[in-house]
Amino acid sequence: VMIGPTDPAVVGPVLSLLGLAGSLPNAPGGGPAAVSRGRAPDPINSAARKLPEAEEAEVGYAGEARIAQPKRTRTDHVATLGYKIRETHVNIDTPVLEGTGDLPGYRRDISYERNDTARDGLDKDGQYRDQTSPSGQHLLIDMRNLEADFLNSEARLAAAMQGSVTAAGLTMLSYHCHSLHPAGVSCVGVLLESHISFHTWPDEGVITLDMFTTSEKPLLPALPAIEALFGVPRADPDDEGSMLEPVTLWSHELRGFRTEDKRSAHYLDGESDLATWVTSPLEVSYKRQVITVQTEHQRIDIWDIKERDDTPSYEDGLKMGLEPGDPRWLSSEFASPNRLMFQDGNLMAQRGSFYELHESLVPPAMFAHPDPKTVAIIEGGNGASLAQVLRHRSVTRVVLVVADPMLIGISREHLPEMSNCADVPGSAPSCFDDPRVEIVHADGFEYLAAKKLANVDVLIVDTENPERQDELSDPRAVAGLISSLSPDGIVA
């Protein structure tokens, strides 16, 4: 059996090469035995016929025989149904819907190493596209609980696709949509920067979409708009009059070939904590960006996340009044999300484990000193180490050296539990406002190297992973650190 085109003009040379010219047998329906995949039936020579395996088939549009079924069975694929779907399940020769995008209203800069910039500062809106750098970004999106009619409408889907391209600040060149049988749509949009494509399953209420761009313009800011444009909810079959909430899973990856320096400097690099914990894994079922700020010193990102196997905490159970045996204990739907703080892509704090982390860092050093009165904290702008220090009654002075003044304000607002001193006698609701605390905005290691600290009983270095902290091997910083300690001083 030959699988492929049945046009004699195409098949003839192949059979001739095999020494089988003129030996095409006939199929039960009178046509060639070859099953055509990917070709629409000839409107002249392909009259609708009822095949032996498709006795319950009905004649569809364009003279096509198809199964009369309201829903596509998950196991019924064109590869296994054979004659039941006849020759094709997709309108492949002619797109049902296609069009072109608006022409770009700006000049293209394709000179070497030009990334969204222009000569002489002419590109005020960052609209120049780099077509020469072999790198890009890839955004993958899966959505469910969507309206079936929307997922089966080429026109509505194409409008959502064009709106998504506009929201991402990209340029649509053309788009092409094909309808599937018995349901579904596949579309692709050709972009100046690369492409956007998707496939739908109306019966299941699912769409899978991907957007790839060679532009360095971030794709993540467009995610809320894409969710809004494609997130048309479907009716809840178990609750008349209510709608199901669309569910979104997504992943972002850097693609192509960047230099090692450019990759390590990118906050979404595959080796960054932000990519590893949040933006890359699809199994993180809940991702919500709380805040993103580019300060003078660093980039700060705060995200709320939940993984598929997360379950409610003890505090969640108290809030919802969960009793033993309640099935909600086993569902991530009722678990509170974990809040994570990243600085330049490095994970610096998380709500779910900050207490354990800082309790293991600070108290051992505090208890190792016989009478700690003066304490210095290098960085630690989230306030978690500060809260541990202030719980020791012997402490009379704390010097908190933080380079970025915005970090303290962001921590106060979005992670207030880390700097909570409401239960510390004589303190303030926020540890940052405790009268014993002196806040210095300076680079911590430069501050140590300048020897501006003296007679410190306990010095807490609350920075990122020491393996990434080159300053810890700087002789000037190390000498300043040692000279800042009191005779019984301790470093943690």
* Active-site annotation, residues: 462
Q: What count of other Cβ atoms lies within 10 Å of the Cβ of residue 269?
A: 17
Half-sphere exposure of 473 (CA within 13 A, CB side): 5
- SS3 of 244-269: the string is CCCEEEEEEEEEECCCHHHHHHCCCC
Q: Which two tokens stand for residue 470?
A: 């080159």
What is the secondary structure of 326-388 as a DSSP string? -GGGG-GGGSPPEEEEEETTEEEEETTTHHHHHHHHSHHHHHHSSS--EEEEEE-TTSHHHHH
Tell me which residue has tokens 């032996």: 52
Strand partners, 325: none
Whole-angstrom Cα distance, residue 329 to residue 315?
Answer: 12
Q: What count of other Cβ atoms lies within 10 Å of the Cβ of residue 318?
A: 10
DSSP state of 278: I
Asked if residues 406 and 298 have their Cβ atoms less than 8 Å apart, the reply is no
Look at residues 259, 306, 302 and name the one whose alpha carbon lies nearest to residue 284. Answer: 306
